[in-house]
Structure 1
Amino acid sequence: MNTWVTTLLGALTGLVLLWLALVAALAVARPRGNALGEALRLLPDLLRLIPRLARDGSLPRGVRVRLWLLLGYLAMPFDLVPDFVPVLGYADDAIVVALVLRSVVRHSGEAALTRHWPGTAEGLRAVRRLARIPAEPDAGDPETGHRP
């Protein structure tokens, strides 16, 4: 067999293995329970939040780059995981958004997320659950509004 054919087959095999590893990582990182349904309801607010965060000059450059890359990923006409793949096919965008938001909060603090959130307080709590960000310590009971 020619060297270039062997190289091409090796590269394709490597890409398939890399894609399978990515799908496995998305499966592990996916939100549990009804968080994916919440993510779909929050989509309009999330689509306004991400550009706001990306344009915030007070955030670290790496965070802003991640947010612009996320916007590019969301704008792509094809998905990383095809829709026929059970569970992950329709959820890959929500999972990627949750992972990026978690990274944004880890690197720039929760104040940036709160400052730029365009939706309701209930929606912000849902985003925090989706991205597995701990609840605010002084947020109180969401039902009654009473603080501990």
Structure 2
Amino acid sequence: MRFRAQLAALAARFKQELVFYRALLAHPDTPWLAKALLWLALGYLVLPFDLIPDFIPVIGQIDELVILPLLVYLALKVTPIAVRQSCRAQI
């Protein structure tokens, strides 16, 4: 039962983060570069082609674990703190 509660908490946190990034994309003061990086991360996640093909063992699957967080991190770095706080307050 403890594992189920942890999984539910993780799912709730994931949902909050999705709402945050949606609010960040919709905010008028979010820089265009941050919006472009977030859209690029979403596109990289959804589209079927990768920089490193998935049929290459290990690194083919790990590239998503490196590239996606890097794009999101860079988007958050170029976004002003006030905009991030405003979006967090909307959640």
Same fold (TM over 0.5): yes
Unpaired runs of 5+ residues, structure 2, are 1-9
Match of 1:76 in 2: 47
Match of 1:61 in 2: 32
Matches within 5 A, 1:113-128: 115=88
Q: Which has the higher contact order (CA 8 A, sep 6+)?
A: 2
The separation in 2 between residues aligned to 1:50 and 1:81, in whole angstroms, is 26
Structure 2 residue identity aligned to 1:55:
A
Pairwise CA RMSD: 3.2
Q: C-alpha deviations, 1:115-147, integer Å up to 9, x for none? A: 18x7xxxxxxxxxxxxxxxxxxxxxxxxxxxxx
The structure where helix makes up a greater share of residues is: 2
Q: C-alpha deviations, 1:87-137, integer Å up to 9, x for none? A: 321121221121112212221145627818x7xxxxxxxxxxxxxxxxxxx
> SS where residue 70 of structure 1 aligns?
helix
Q: What is the percent sequence identity of the aligned residues?
A: 30
Larger Rg: 1
Q: TM-score, normalised by structure 1?
A: 0.40
Equivalent pair of 1:51/1:67 in contact (CA under 8 Å): no
Query: Does 2:62 correspond to 1:86?
Result: no
Which segments of structure 1 move beyond 6 Å, counting only runs of 4 or more? none
> SS where residue 63 of structure 1 aligns?
helix
Q: TM-score, normalised by structure 2?
A: 0.58
